[in-house]
Amino acid sequence: MKTLMLALVLILVPAGIVFACSGTEGYPKAVKVLEENQHLSAEQKALLMKALMAGISMHDESHKTSNMSKMGQSLQTLRSLQSKITK
């Protein structure tokens, strides 16, 4: 019985780590990086912040509704914005 429990723990713990959402930490980090960016104009920052806020909203909604399609879309938005923010 102990072996079975250990096997389940060893299977389920890594699975939980794999399924952790990168947007949960990624969006706040992107906001911070954008705020600290010295190379973008105020107008560029405002546009990117608006897009980040829309992405955060989509991300939060996808968690509430368990909508994996919307989740994927929000993570794709995050990756796209991260590349624009760090230029």
| Assigned token pair, 27 | 């969006």
Within a domain: 83: yes
pLDDT digits (tens, 9 = 90+) for 71-87: 999 999 999 999 999 86
| DSSP 3-state of 86 | coil
Cβ burial of 7 (10 Å; 0-12, 13-18, 19+) is exposed
Indicate the length of the chain as a whole number: 87
Within a domain: 10: no
- Model pTM? 0.73
Specify whether the CB–CB gap between 78 and 55 falls below 8 A.
yes
Please report which confidence band the pLDDT of residue 17 belongs to, taking 50, 70 and 90 as the band edges. very low
Within a domain: 18: no
Within a domain: 21: no
Segments forming the whole domain that contains residue 46: 40-87
How many structural domains are present in the chain? 1
Q: Is the pLDDT of residue 18 over 90?
A: no
